[in-house]
Amino acid sequence: MYTGWRTSLPERKGHPVQASLSAPDITCDHCVATIQRVVDGIEGARFISGDPASKSFVVEVASGATLDRVSEGLAAEGYPLGDAAESTDAASVPGQHDGRTPDTWTPAYRVTATPRGADVNYDCDCGCDAGFALDRSVAEQPLEDCCCGKQMLVGRDADARLRGAVGDGHRIDLQTVTMPWGQPIQAALAIPRD
């Protein structure tokens, strides 16, 4: 657990304190949004701001114990606190910033049943856990976006619909995934060309 915060938290009984923290595994705005969700879900903590470029963020906490809970919650979500210079070697993390170009990267999908259909997720090469929430009650669902510009569609004619929506500036990865109810279905991902 990261404990360097103790020296930067002044004692101000009954008053929240802002703490500037860093997490070396922050890579994008999606990471910051995940951190915000975790922090805002902890009683006595509030997310103030975050910056993916510096791998840092600011929180307001009611106590050192609250900051401990923030640290534990973030570690559980994959964002342990630490020095931003200690960034994980991305090449050692499967599916994350592994040096493959948009022309060679291919997602590995995970399909999970939901009450309305299924989630089709993948570990994006930008570092996000991205995907598509298929709702079987909706005839024609909109595209879903990743923070890095990839767009995804799952369903009948997903390939044709996605190609029509994104144009020529993308490579389309097309795979067939099997839904929890046994139906094979198209998963199409538009990957921007650099």
State yes or no: pLDDT of 105 exceeds 70: yes
Instruction: Specify whether the CB–CB gap between 162 and 151 falls below 8 A.
Output: yes
| pLDDT-derived band at 164, boundaries 50, 70, 90 | very high
- Give the residue-averaged pLDDT of 51-72: 85
Domain boundaries, the chain: 4-88, 110-192
d(Cα 69, Cα 76) in Å, to the nearest integer?
Answer: 11
Instruction: Residue 4: name the closest of 77, 56, 44, 78 by CA.
Output: 56
- Give the residue-averaged pLDDT of 38-45: 93
d(Cα 179, Cα 119) in Å, to the nearest integer?
Answer: 9
Q: Which amino acid is at 15?
A: H
Give the residue with greater pLDDT, 111 vs 88.
Answer: 111
Helix axes 29-40, 64-76, angle to 10 degrees: 130
- Give the residue-averaged pLDDT of 28-49: 90
pLDDT at residue 153, rounded to an integer? 94
Angle (CA) 162-163-167 rounded to 5° is 120
pTM of the model: 0.49
Share above pLDDT 90 across residues of the chain, in percent, rounded to a whole number:
23
Strands (E), the chain: 17-22, 45-51, 56-61, 110-113, 117-123, 129-135, 144-145, 151-154, 170-178, 184-192
- Give the residue-averaged pLDDT of 153-173: 90
pLDDT, tens digit (0-9, with 9 covering 90-100), for 6-28: 334 444 455 678 888 888 888 88
Name residue, tokens 């279905």: 185
Give the residue with greater pLDDT, 45 vs 93.
Answer: 45
Instruction: Residue 163: name the closest of 139, 143, 138, 184 by CA.
Output: 143
Quickly count: other Cβ atoms within 10 Å of residue 168's Cβ: 7
The token duo for 49 is 């701001």
Phi, psi dihedral angles at 163 (to 5 degrees): -60, -40
What's the CATH number of domain 4-88, 1.10.150.310, 3.40.50.720, 3.30.70.100, 3.20.20.70? 3.30.70.100
